[in-house]
Structure 1
Amino acid sequence: MRRSPPRWAEQLLIWLHPSETLEEVQGDLDELYTYWYRRAGEPQASLRYVLNVISAVPPFVRRRHSQSSEYPQPSSLHPSMLSNYLKIALRTLWRSKGHVAINVIGLAVAFCICTFLFLTSYLQLTFDSFHTDGDRIFQTYYFSNDPEKPSKSGTMPLALLPALKTDFPELEAGAQIVQGRKSLVEYKGVYFDKLITLTDPDFLTMFSFPMLKGSRTRALHDLSSIVISDDMAKAVFGTDDPMGKTLLVGSNGDQKQYIVTGVMATPPYNSSIQFDALVRVENVPNYQARKQNWYDNSHRVFLKLPAQINQATFEARLKAFTKKYLGQNLDNLKKKGAKPDSQGDLFTIRLQKLADVHFDREIDGRGAPIAMIYVLLGISFFILLIACINFINLSIARSFMRAREVGVRKSLGALKTQLFVQIWSESTLICLVGFGIGLLLAYWFLPAFNASFQARLELHYLFQPGFIVLIVGVFLLVTLLAGGYPAWQMAAFKPVEVLKGKISLKRPGFLRNSLIVTQFSLSTLLACATIIALQQVDFLREQPLGFQKEQVISIPVGNQANGRQVLQRMRNILATDPTVVAVTGTDINLGRGKDRVSSRSSVGFTFKGREISSDLLLVDYDYFKTLNIKLLAGRDFNPTYAADSVNRVVVTASMAKLLGEKNPVGMFYRDDADTSGAQTQIIGVVPDFHLYSLADQAKPITIHISHAEPIRYIFVRVSPQSLASSMDRMKQVWKDIAPQSEFMGTFLDENVDAWYQSEEMMSRVFSLASSIAILLSCIGLFAVALIVIEQRTKEIGIRKVMGASIPGIIVVLSRDFVKLVLIALAIAIPLAWFGMDKWLSGYAYRIDINPWVFVIVGLSAFLIAIATVSFHSIKAALVNPVKSLRSE
């Protein structure tokens, strides 16, 4: 027969619930007394237990239902209450140091990685965003709907801007930007390599680079004026005032004098337009003649539209302008059978927003594709999401260990909101500590990250208003998502069910399953992307380039020496050196050397009614010998033939095919529009080779020699036996013949590898992200396995008593997780294949995705998941069934 509650218990419960009748609290009282009586064995022990519980509960909790003035209800956000929450949270967390450490480490690593990726994305997405009225500034570009392939080009003729200003006087501003290699700047006998940009006076008023000294409207009023950057002013003049000082710009014998009329702030990293100094565009060589040529494309043009004219309206007006000045291009396309595009254009001038310039590689061939930036943001979001998932799973796992504590607190008068705030404060503390440690890790590892990924991140970007808002928002979101859900779930426990032991998560919930599937889907996707990216980089490196890159040293001449003189001196010195096979010169480097310069020259003309376009390469004698390129027909350039340096060329096989001649050696050709009679003769044909990265299709090449054009790079082929000492030998020779110029020699195979830095960077980012994601996912799976097995302890004991084997129990405990991992693989693998196939489509030379990549990654993810779950499964299966049953 059930024993009725004693008088002291009735009075206690009435005191805790003064607004309720004895009948209203009778059920709770009965359940509580029965539970305590069974646990303690006698009423006196039960009383001591109750008193101990009550003494551990804050006084305001015992008065939660009181509405009288004697017991006023305090606010849960009162300062004293918040202090109490904090103290209890610190004590609770200290008792669970292992749980806290796992959460803090996971969040800290996630915050650190996300800080790096967020900063990288932030810098990219804010390119050119600092210009006032940037939404009204546009770059012009040509659109050509060629039958073979539609194309865009951002290089414009010098004739364009004057004509635009004449035909459209309403234009608010326009500036041409001619930006080439660095030039030699001399001041008082000291030389500096600086990037001199040629532009128009409107540049100073159109763009918002801060003007530190001088007037925006007058600084470029004269052809001899020069506006320098703040960094250049410090480098050249030190602490002296640069205004009015004279600088000499150009190589020896070809220098021009400029007077400093202004100082601008150095362009920030996130600016598409970079410069050390600005001079007038009229200083371009042969400016007056080139100004009349509509087909001499050499620079970029930026326009600022009036506020009342939008982009679409102005582009529509540019169609008639294009037909007026560039009608020949339209006629040539019609002859080729070109059809108008969806906007009705064959060939026209269009506008590109300033904000899009940095991300469009098709127009200018520079910048970062915006898809890559979104990938970085997505990866950072995924890593943060996985960390939050782990936090939730571990918090839920721990919530069942604290369920009885919560039940007793609620039975003794604690409000649901008070419990929520108490538990959420614990989660907030963990997030705050993890966030702080994550920022410290970011500070410590920032130099290593910058070095590994060629980044220019600085932590002071974190203190910009926009980024502060982002950081606070992310922190609040993580705290609310990762800490709020477990706190809400624990606060919602029903005290009677908790104390009767009815709280359980034996059935896998939708949320838990979704979290596991999400974690392993992201991890698998990143792992697949990493392997495919690495395979593509290796494929590009192993592809034949058409020349022998090994054993060739590439030396940039720089601006402080005459390339032709240096080349001749090197030939004289190395002529008797048995370790040197050949020496030559060129104006275009192969790969990317220490000077980081990449340039491209092209030539276009009409031949027999067909548009011909090819890369143009300036070389010196022995170029083909140095690179071990064999002739297919004809002969090499020869110094005994004077005409070789005037109007004779060697072409690649694809160029010969483009000209439509089976045997082009000896043939003459010229532009159909050129009536001067000047013709070019082909003296030789060589196999196709790559001047540029294999990310692009190899174009036909026209190779020529000209004694009037500068040599910018020297190539030296050395014998295989002398590789170890050859670089030191070149350094010594360089010091003797060009002591004023820095030696920046590199091996050509190193330069070629540098072509694929962006691909390597992406693969390294994927590798780092996938490693972190897999690690965090395993921690999350570890937590979920802990939840399930803790809840199935009694079931495991019963199964063992009924004769189940240890392997059988392990299978039972693991099969639900196996299903979830298989679902994750089924989701991730098609997404990985689709995404990477899309990425590979941007390469002219690409791999075919091997299905074995997905098999290996899937099997690895499967085994890792099984190993993670098996740790708990084996441990639970080995426990004595008597202990398992007693634990319930």
Structure 2
Amino acid sequence: MKPDRPTPPRAADRLLEWFVAPHLLETLQGDLHEEFAYQVERIGESRAQWRYWRDVLGFVRPYVMKREKSEYSNPTNADMIRSYIKIALRNLWRSKGYAAVNVVGLSVAFCICLFLFLVAYRQLTFDSFHKDGDRIFQTYFFSNDPDRVSRTGGMPLPLTPALKGEHPEIEAAARVMSGRTSLVEYRGKYFDKMVVQTDPDFLKLFSFPLLKGSREVALRDLSSIVISETMAKAVFADEDPIGKRLLIGSDKKQYIVTGIIADSPDNSSIHYDALARIETAPNYQNDKDSWQAITHWVFIKVAPQVDQAAFEARLKPFTQKYFAGTVQDLIKKGAKADERGDVFALRLQKLANVHFDRDVSDGKGAPIALIYVLIGIAVFILSIACINFINMSIARSFTRAKEVGVRKSLGALRNQLFVQIWSESTFICLLGFIIGAALIYLLIGTFNSTFQTKFTLTHAFQPGFIAWMVGVFLLVTLVAGGYPAWQMAKFNAVEVLKGKVSLKRPGLLRNSLIVTQFAMSTLLACCTIIAIQQVDYMRQQPVGFDKEQVISIPVGNQANGRQVLGRLRNRLANDPTVLAVTGTSINLGKGKDRVTSRSTFGFTYKGKQIVTDWLLVDYDYLKTLNIKPLAGRDFDPAYAVDSVNRVVVTESMAKLIDAKHPIGAFIKDDSDTTGLKTEIIGVIPDFHLYSVADEARPIAMHLSNREDIHYIFVRVATQSLAQSMDRMKQIWREVAPQSEFLGSFLDENVDGWYQNEEAMSKIFSLAASIAMLLSCLGLFAIALLVIEQRTKEIGIRKVLGASVPNIVVTLSRDFVKLVLIALAIAVPLAWLGMQKWLDNYAERITISIWIFVGVGVAAILVALATVSFHSIKAALMNPVKSLRSE
């Protein structure tokens, strides 16, 4: 059998292609190849290759010297830069596969990171636009109750005047009372607008631009109102709003527009359509001197140089003065002072943290820990992409070693080689960054719909975010591109040309990178599975009421809820597909109006501090939700007194007041001297008025003919769900033509409770998938690097009788060990981190060891599948070729 024709060194042929004119190249290469074949037969292949290199260098040296002179004589001239770019593009074009893999990996990583950094940046910059924001705080109460340590931002109405009067270091203080939207009327036109009741100091505290009017006098009078720019355009169109009169609320209270304020930014914790004086709020006159009426939040601005901790210490006498009864009640209950010596205290929350604190301010933002998790995921994915880049660059460095050696032997300096090789890496990073940004433009709609956000590209053009991302890009370029370039520039020219190129301790570097990659990937995979299981577990938990077949309809502000409820009952009275109709003040879950509200009632009963959810309901509430009373009865139209001081309570509420026979028992506030008592007429099982993730409070349901109905529930028959929603929409046009129909099924609303958790699980799933994909690409590159270095070893093993399976096992064994090390690092971290996350939930899963076992087996199988591609290919190679390769 005729042996294969010997092949001259490819690197030498590339050198000819770079420097010799195309019309001379073919003839010159032909002659050199013939001479090489002759020398192989005469003196052997190894010595013939050295002679081939000598001949090639003799032909190209004049071209090289001329080019090196123009390229390296002046490191700052334009010729050198053009040469770097030209050579970089030429090298990348000749290695299209290598460049494509790196560009794809980096573009995906940059896309994911830009999205996650955008989310994190927006959350972390909430309320950052206010001047002197570091001196603005929200007040909150700390209670070291032995049953449950609590923090609440609700404040009594007399607190702010007393606080400001007794502490001169407070420059400004404002009460902020916001709730549902109010009905605004102007010349026969009606609008739903959010009117926030506050104090005149609001305009001194916060830096929302006042477009018209004076900050000193805009809220001076009780009839004054400041409206937002958007509200001004919607209500007044082209008219000048200043001095115009508006009618607001069901009582049509008259206000005079005294100012126009800019719209609150979307990264503001306080949102408004209009600002009015808090003295105009309902029941203000009755509650203005009551230290039990918790109705609003309080923000203060302290003088410069006032330390938060020192000021909180000065608030202790204030707390003892006005809340002595509360402190004594807690001590009687067994409360102990905390590490700061407080049983009950008034403390301060920084404005920058208000958005994240749901206990203190009912913040709508994700928990701060989740934001850091998103940043960590972004860093993980970007790190894996960088590791891949480094791996593939190092793997490619062995194929380019002779090129580097030749360039160094012809006079190229180390820093010049570094810049040349780094420029190639920079170009790949830049291309990946541009493609990643383009993917964001294409996928932002999908991102918003998937994670229920409202991001626009305008967020990405904020100066702070641009600076952040430029810094990330430069860091990635420096790390991912600079390290391989630095290593290649250090190659010894003589050793390279002898074929003895190697990195110092390459095994340590390679092993560290693969362990890091798979540790990150398996960590994310474990967190993903646990998060998904927790969301599924919460959804499967009984909520205490029958959420199926119930339509929830927000009434809105342009209709009277009680009137609409009455009309709807009359209209559906004879409909066999409608089983029950009721009304309430609070929706269950998150409906299409996306409004979540909470009403609580606190009182002292027999020396015990009790806080309960205070729920307004109408007749048939229990029937509509299929809640069966444990004792007593439901509200009944046959009992006229049910609407006056009668309540139906949950089982936990009955236990809280220690009533052995709760039916007929009376609840009375110890501090109430009027003799007003509330009678319990029924006890029902506990149910979740809010998310299962939150700790359930006892509930007291009351009936009132004076309070507004905000939601209507309709239970329909099972055989006509789809038709019932369509029919309900038609009937709604008849009973409430002025109000938009926003009906939804209650089971859909309840799913909305877990929106944040579901978004987190989706983010984890996406991140884990991307991380595993990028890790496989990196492992692919590492396997290529290792197998190229062990080509002769594989040939020797085959010659000595090793089978293909034996060689595959030998080559894969080391990689499996590294994956096991990665699992040993990732599993404890995942367990600790997710245990801490699960501690935030009242109802939570127990983490199973089989999750980690399953992830570990999957990681090992993925690693084996990736490595086996190269292993099998190398094992099937002709051993003669393996032994002849250099």
Normalising by structure 1, we get a TM-score of 0.93
**Partner residue, 1:59:** 66
Residue 63 of structure 1, CA deviation: 9.3
One-letter amino acid of the counterpart of residue 499, structure 1: L
1:825 to 800, 823, 830: 823
**Partner residue, 2:86:** 87
- For these two proteins, the number of residue pairs brought into alignment is 845
- Three-state SS of the structure 1 residue aligned to 2:708 is coil
Query: Is the alpha carbon distance of 1:46 and 1:728 closer, same or farther for their aligned partners in structure 2, counting shifts above 3 Å?
Result: closer
Matches within 5 A, 1:496-507: 496-504=494-502
1:861-888 deviations in Å (ceiling 9; x for gaps): 1100100000000011011111111223
Query: Is the alpha carbon distance of 1:44 and 1:780 closer, same or farther for their aligned partners in structure 2, counting shifts above 3 Å?
Result: closer
One-letter amino acid of the counterpart of residue 689, structure 2: L
Query: Is the alpha carbon distance of 1:827 and 1:468 closer, same or farther for their aligned partners in structure 2, counting shifts above 3 Å?
Result: same
Alpha carbons 1:555, 1:745 under 8 Å: kept: yes
- Give 5+ residue unaligned stretches, structure 1: 1-33, 65-72
1:114-136 deviations in Å (ceiling 9; x for gaps): 11011100011111111111111
**Partner residue, 2:857:** 859
Moved more, 140-149 or 463-472: 463-472
Alpha carbons 1:62, 1:414 under 8 Å: kept: no
**Partner residue, 1:166:** 165
**Partner residue, 2:414:** 416
Matches within 5 A, 1:113-128: 113-128=112-127
1:278 to 275, 278, 288: 275
One-letter amino acid of the counterpart of residue 237, structure 1: F
Residue 43 of structure 1, CA deviation: 11
1:414-453 deviations in Å (ceiling 9; x for gaps): 1111111111111111111111111111111111111111
* 2:591 paired with 1:593: yes
1:258-296 deviations in Å (ceiling 9; x for gaps): 222111111111111111111111111122221110110
Moved more, 784-793 or 319-328: 319-328
**Partner residue, 2:288:** 291
Alpha carbons 2:137, 2:351 under 8 Å: kept: yes
Alpha carbons 1:517, 1:820 under 8 Å: kept: yes
Sequence identity percentage = 67
1:183-229 deviations in Å (ceiling 9; x for gaps): 11122222211111011111112101111111111211211111111
1:596-638 deviations in Å (ceiling 9; x for gaps): 1111111222222222221111111111111000111111111
Q: Distance in 2 between matches of 1:532 and 1:617?
A: 35
Q: Distance in 1 between matches of 2:655 and 2:290?
A: 29
**Partner residue, 1:14:** none
* 2:48 paired with 1:50: no
**Partner residue, 1:530:** 528
Q: Distance in 2 between matches of 1:741 and 1:568?
A: 15
Alpha carbons 2:169, 2:306 under 8 Å: kept: no
**Partner residue, 2:545:** 547
One-letter amino acid of the counterpart of residue 263, structure 1: I
One-letter amino acid of the counterpart of residue 157, structure 2: L
- Three-state SS of the structure 1 residue aligned to 2:170 is coil
Residue 568 of structure 1, CA deviation: 0.6
Q: Distance in 1 between matches of 2:806 and 2:376?
A: 41
Residue 339 of structure 1, CA deviation: 1.5
1:691 to 689, 706, 709: 689
2:519 to 504, 514, 521: 521
Residue 41 of structure 1, CA deviation: 4.7
**Partner residue, 1:869:** 867
Query: Is the alpha carbon distance of 1:656 and 1:848 closer, same or farther for their aligned partners in structure 2, counting shifts above 3 Å?
Result: same
Alpha carbons 1:62, 1:412 under 8 Å: kept: no
**Partner residue, 1:674:** 672
**Partner residue, 2:7:** none
* 2:275 paired with 1:268: no
* 2:499 paired with 1:492: no
Moved more, 754-763 or 231-240: 231-240
Query: Is the alpha carbon distance of 1:827 and 1:546 closer, same or farther for their aligned partners in structure 2, counting shifts above 3 Å?
Result: same
Matches within 5 A, 1:82-481: 82-251=81-250, 254-366=251-363, 367-481=365-479
Moved more, 393-402 or 365-374: 365-374
Alpha carbons 1:505, 1:788 under 8 Å: kept: no
Query: Is the alpha carbon distance of 1:850 and 1:55 closer, same or farther for their aligned partners in structure 2, counting shifts above 3 Å?
Result: farther
Alpha carbons 2:65, 2:410 under 8 Å: kept: no
Q: Distance in 2 between matches of 1:43 and 1:364?
A: 77
Q: Distance in 1 between matches of 2:498 and 2:409?
A: 13
One-letter amino acid of the counterpart of residue 225, structure 1: S
Query: Is the alpha carbon distance of 1:676 and 1:870 closer, same or farther for their aligned partners in structure 2, counting shifts above 3 Å?
Result: same
Residue 468 of structure 1, CA deviation: 2.2
- Three-state SS of the structure 2 residue aligned to 1:570 is helix
Residue 460 of structure 1, CA deviation: 2.4
One-letter amino acid of the counterpart of residue 685, structure 1: V
- Three-state SS of the structure 1 residue aligned to 2:315 is helix
One-letter amino acid of the counterpart of residue 336, structure 1: K
1:365-419 deviations in Å (ceiling 9; x for gaps): 3232111110000110111111100111111111111111111111111111111
**Partner residue, 1:784:** 782
Matches within 5 A, 1:768-779: 768-779=766-777
Moved more, 412-421 or 600-609: 600-609
Q: Distance in 1 between matches of 2:662 and 2:519?
A: 57
One-letter amino acid of the counterpart of residue 279, structure 1: A
One-letter amino acid of the counterpart of residue 108, structure 1: S
1:773-815 deviations in Å (ceiling 9; x for gaps): 0000000000000001111111111110100000000011111
Query: Is the alpha carbon distance of 1:295 and 1:50 closer, same or farther for their aligned partners in structure 2, counting shifts above 3 Å?
Result: same
Alpha carbons 1:594, 1:744 under 8 Å: kept: yes
Q: Distance in 1 between matches of 2:722 and 2:458?
A: 44
Query: Is the alpha carbon distance of 1:46 and 1:92 closer, same or farther for their aligned partners in structure 2, counting shifts above 3 Å?
Result: closer
Residue 507 of structure 1, CA deviation: 7.0
Alpha carbons 1:651, 1:702 under 8 Å: kept: yes
Alpha carbons 1:227, 1:277 under 8 Å: kept: yes
Normalising by structure 2, we get a TM-score of 0.93
1:735-789 deviations in Å (ceiling 9; x for gaps): 1110110000000000000000000000000011111100000000000000011
Alpha carbons 2:487, 2:503 under 8 Å: kept: no
Residue 691 of structure 1, CA deviation: 0.4
**Partner residue, 1:9:** none
Moved more, 310-319 or 514-523: 310-319
Q: Distance in 1 between matches of 2:743 and 2:811?
A: 62
- Three-state SS of the structure 2 residue aligned to 1:172 is strand
One-letter amino acid of the counterpart of residue 94, structure 2: R
One-letter amino acid of the counterpart of residue 276, structure 2: V
Moved more, 278-287 or 744-753: 278-287
Alpha carbons 2:618, 2:703 under 8 Å: kept: yes
Alpha carbons 2:292, 2:602 under 8 Å: kept: no
**Partner residue, 1:626:** 624
- Three-state SS of the structure 2 residue aligned to 1:541 is helix
- Three-state SS of the structure 1 residue aligned to 2:291 is coil
Moved more, 696-705 or 622-631: 696-705
**Partner residue, 2:4:** none
Moved more, 201-210 or 749-758: 201-210
Q: Distance in 2 between matches of 1:223 and 1:322?
A: 30
Residue 505 of structure 1, CA deviation: 6.2
**Partner residue, 1:23:** none
**Partner residue, 1:573:** 571
RMSD: 1.9
- Three-state SS of the structure 2 residue aligned to 1:666 is coil
- Three-state SS of the structure 2 residue aligned to 1:138 is strand
Alpha carbons 1:506, 1:792 under 8 Å: kept: no
Q: Distance in 2 between matches of 1:239 and 1:819?
A: 73
One-letter amino acid of the counterpart of residue 877, structure 1: A
Residue 40 of structure 1, CA deviation: 8.0
One-letter amino acid of the counterpart of residue 257, structure 1: Q
Residue 307 of structure 1, CA deviation: 1.0
